[in-house]
Structure 1
């Protein structure tokens, strides 16, 4: 279940990444993304580097960079994401 707000300049989302699911590799062109993990853990691959982020921690993907997210656990993970547009 995703809850989102988008005013064309900033997208704000609260989402659940269910156990075993993923968000595919994508590049942030013209924006960046900040993801705060609320519950569980998510494994990110950002520009080829893997990191596992736990509840209470933040993952950041800068503008022009590529990342993916995967929940490799048996429990759902929840996150809060902010995607501000950086292009003028």
Structure 2
């Protein structure tokens, strides 16, 4: 069993994340070694107004974003979509995605990166 209070979670301030703009806050909800070998990231991300996570490719893994607050423009393989709290995105292995905060409040989302397993469970 894990009970981790907010003050105990590892937090990173990442400038120009994935060649994006601004500084993104990443609060690790679980560490990679706690994901049972199934993934490498489970985190609460905060993207300030005007900041972004640059478009990047997922190789060997896939990623879901669940949006908690704010407004943004999500890019997936060259197409752009508006996202708000309650929306979910999923990028498959080999695909490209990125996110930009287009609002005037922080864009917050939970990110989960899972390893691609071609063999199945």
Q: Which has the larger radius of gyration?
A: 2
What is the Cα-based RMSD across aligned positions, in Å? 1.4
How far the C-alpha of 1:87 sits from its partner, in A, is 4.6
How far the C-alpha of 1:41 sits from its partner, in A, is 1.6
Q: Secondary structure at the match of 1:2?
A: strand
Q: TM-score, normalised by structure 1?
A: 0.91
Match of 1:36 in 2: 66
Match of 1:17 in 2: 47
Match of 1:6 in 2: 32
Q: Secondary structure at the match of 2:61?
A: coil
Q: TM-score, normalised by structure 2?
A: 0.68
* CA displacement 1:19-78 (0-9 Å, x = unmatched): 000001100000010000000122111111110111011011111100111001111111
How far the C-alpha of 1:9 sits from its partner, in A, is 3.5
Provide the C-alpha distance between the structure 1 equivalents of 2:72 and 2:64, rounded to a whole number of angstroms. Answer: 13
* Larger helix proportion of the pair: 2
Provide the C-alpha distance between the structure 1 equivalents of 2:102 and 2:108, rounded to a whole number of angstroms. Answer: 13
* Larger strand proportion of the pair: 1
Unaligned runs of 5+ in 2: 1-24
Provide the C-alpha distance between the structure 2 equivalents of 1:78 and 1:68, rounded to a whole number of angstroms. Answer: 14
- For this pair of structures, how many residues does the alignment match? 88
Match of 2:114 in 1: 84
Q: Secondary structure at the match of 1:32?
A: strand
